[in-house]
Amino acid sequence: MREKIQSLLKELWAKDDGTTIREHTDKLLENLQKLRDYYRKEIEELIPKGLPTELKERFWEILELACEYHDYGKIHCKFQEKIGNKNIKPIKGLPEVRHNLLSPVFVNVEDELIRKIVRLLVLHHHPVEVEEMPVESVERVLREEFKFEKNPISFMLKKREEDYLREDVAKMFKIPVDELILYYRLLKGLLLRIDHASSSKHAQEVEDEPPGDTLSFVDDFFKKQGRTPYEMQIFVRENRDKNLVIIAPTGAGKTEAGFIYLQRKGFFMLPYRVSANGIYMRAEGIFRNEGNRNNRNYAGLLHSSALSYVLEREENREDIQNNQEGTAFLNYFLSRNFAKPIIVSTPDQLMHFVFRYKGFEKYYATALYSRLVIDELQSYDPITLAFIVQGLEVLAQNGGKFLVMTATFPEFLRERFERMGVEFKTFNTQEKPYHNVQVIDDSIDNYVDKMIELSQKAKVLAVVNTVRKAIELREKLKDKLPHVKLLHSRFILKDRKEKEIEIMKFFNSQENGLWITTQLAEVSLDLDADYLFTELSTADSLIQRMGRCNRKGQKSTDEPNVFIFTKDCSGVGPVYYKHLHESTLKNLKDGLWDWDFKWELVEKVYSESALYGTKYWERFKKAESYIKSLWEGADSLIRSKSEAQDLFRDINAVQVIPNQFKEDVESLIQEWEKAKGDFIKRTKLLSDILEYSFSLPAWSIREIEKQKIHDRLGIYYIEGDYSEDTGFVLKPTADTEQVENII
């Protein structure tokens, strides 16, 4: 029987492209060897210390056995029929059974403990719902097709995964149950990593060769820049094996400190895609082995539109135009496999493991043996913040390493991080105040003349809380100042990119003038204005905005350079929590703001006593409690990775295209449909289509006439007024501030 099975593995298909089961299995074993060669030390340090010596020493053997047996069930005739292998005649009347329900039967291992663990791994390498288990169909296939007199895994099919570990492994072999579960999760996560990478159509590597250490690359960067590391960067270098929270102002060198922390493999996570794009460009410049024959780039980018971004950046390179496995394309798929050593990403790409859905172990295990850098922690809403903090707590408890970097740390989180054993360090690199603040008890609308006056001799930036307010402010200014510029998120992508280039050029030039923006300026643009006019927002947001004025601290602060308007502020309630807005207002002051005052302001607004009983606090605690319950044994309501990712993203956002661009878009859609099978071409065409789009909250288009541009694309044509100068203007009935599109 054994020889017959081995022969069938060489003949029968694992994939519909004719790849045999043996070929696919050998690819898994090859990737297992790479994983072991590159990250053996990091992974073995995660194996629980309290397990029997036999299990600790046989970790890699168990993983290898799971890789070997995971797809044996694909010899099932119904599976072969399903994937189009016409060389096999299915047995009439035989039910179809998923291959992972059959594969465990073929596990041939003498040691009972090892056999039980391998069988469980193989059974659950695809999601299994015990309540829906077709036990009778499995037994019939085993009996009629494979001639098994009885089903050796029938009991395993009827139990939940971790219940089986508790009751049929830990109890039987007197193994500490908690440590056994941690051991199993690590094994299963690595098995899923290896299997998914080996099954990829575009890049079948589980790990790309890592650098010896990120330190040498950062040191080379400093040498080329002709400077020595800052105090904060030296501290991180000396404490790389600890979990850290670093609090420091803009310009303290947090990005390079993060690169130092990553060591050989890591994720640098930021809240916004545009921020991730910027850090990726820096990582790409630093982590490139120019002495290597292939000029190897160790950095990758991963977020929901990363492929479009990297293809656009490299569209003129010959390897993209002439080779379907071009560098940018290949690097993207290596990043999607988590194979690139250094990955710049948004947290929704990895931290969703915290929901413990079926298959979460792949992301959990990857996070454990990687280093994580979390930047701009203050930028997240309370629910997402709770998810991230709870994810970090799980990692800290199980051997994971992370660095949190932030300019404005939410003070109520301090105790939680201290319980994790995290070391805090604050660095004040600003020796003098950068900002002289005037708090004005009036609306920003009433100070347009002052803006105009200053814009004649300096660079002025006006930041408001909502898109609608930005458009209204421009209307008030344009008659007196025709060249006033406007930037917000309701410009189509192609216009927005041009405006972002234009605003950057302006603030890097010798020109004078005025730009009106929303939070886009605070989250994604490195601007340096002479004067800032801003509606009051919350303490953390306000300080981020102020970082766009006198950014390097080289301008005079003898007179006010920041004007904060506290009356009739837009977005209070729907954009900014009202109590946070009011608490910020209560703690403002006129005059010089040094970094210590800014830090005290954030501490006061985000202390636990200030937040207790508020909506912000209620939402954070509810999300925190839910995640804690999942890791204490409650069933997850989240069934898939995609559902988990949605909780990290703005799932209420809809991509839309103004109706006036329909003719241009329709021709691109026709080309996109014709390009079936050419993944790169279709991706580029989709990017071209998205150039005419922008995002809107779903509620805001309920009353607008809309039409889906294609059945397979979640993008809509919408009616409305659009211009290159103003962007898209919603109908007054739709453009309320119920849930305003804030940037």
Give tens-digit pLDDT for 412-425.
999 999 999 999 99
pLDDT tens-digit readout, 474-497: 999 988 998 899 999 999 999 999
Query: pTM of the predicted model, to two decimals?
Result: 0.93
The Cβ of residue 162 has, within 10 Å, a number of other Cβ atoms equal to 17
- What pLDDT is attached to residue 739? 38
- 300, 266 Cβ separation under 8 angstroms: no
3-state helix, strand, coil in the chain (%, to 5): 50, 15, 35
DSSP class per residue in 662-726? HHHHHHHHHHHHHTTT-HHHHHHHHHHHHTT-EEEEGGGGTTS-EEEEETTEEEEEE-SEEETTT
Distance in angstroms (rounded) separating the CA atoms of residues 125 and 662? 45
The Cβ of residue 242 has, within 10 Å, a number of other Cβ atoms equal to 14
Q: What is the largest CA-CA distance in the chain?
A: 91
Q: With CA atoms as reference, report the closest residue to 451 among 533, 562, 507, 555.
A: 533
Q: Which domains does the chain have, with CATH numbers?
A: 2-198 (1.10.3210), 214-426 (3.40.50.300), 435-593 (3.40.50.300), 650-743 (no CATH)
Rounded to an integer, the average pLDDT of 72-101 is: 95
Confidence of residue 241 (pLDDT cuts 50, 70, 90): very high
Rounded to an integer, the average pLDDT of 522-539 is: 91
Distance in angstroms (rounded) separating the CA atoms of residues 533 and 565? 8
Confidence of residue 274 (pLDDT cuts 50, 70, 90): confident
Tokens of 694: 């922008």
Distance in angstroms (rounded) separating the CA atoms of residues 617 and 613? 6
The yes-or-no verdict on residue 333 having pLDDT over 60 is: yes
640-658 burial code (b ≥16 CB/10 A, e <16): ebeebbebbeeeeebbbbb
pLDDT tens-digit readout, 158-190: 999 999 999 999 999 999 999 999 999 999 999
- 209, 80 Cβ separation under 8 angstroms: no
The yes-or-no verdict on residue 644 having pLDDT over 90 is: no
Could you tell me whether strands 435-440 and 371-375 are parallel, antiparallel, or unpaired per DSSP bridges?
A: unpaired
Confidence of residue 743 (pLDDT cuts 50, 70, 90): very low
340-365 burial code (b ≥16 CB/10 A, e <16): bbbbbbbbbbbbbbbbbbbbbbbbbb
- What pLDDT is attached to residue 650? 60
Mean pLDDT computed over every residue of the chain: 91
Rounded to an integer, the average pLDDT of 124-143 is: 93
% of the chain with per-residue pLDDT over 70: 95
What three-state secondary structure class fits 609? Answer: helix
Could you give the residue ranges of the DSSP H alpha helices within 508-577?
A: 520-524, 539-546
pLDDT tens-digit readout, 673-721: 999 888 888 888 999 999 999 988 777 777 777 899 998 898 999 988 9
CA dihedral sign, ordered 324, 329, 333, 336: negative
- What pLDDT is attached to residue 457? 96
- What pLDDT is attached to residue 532? 98
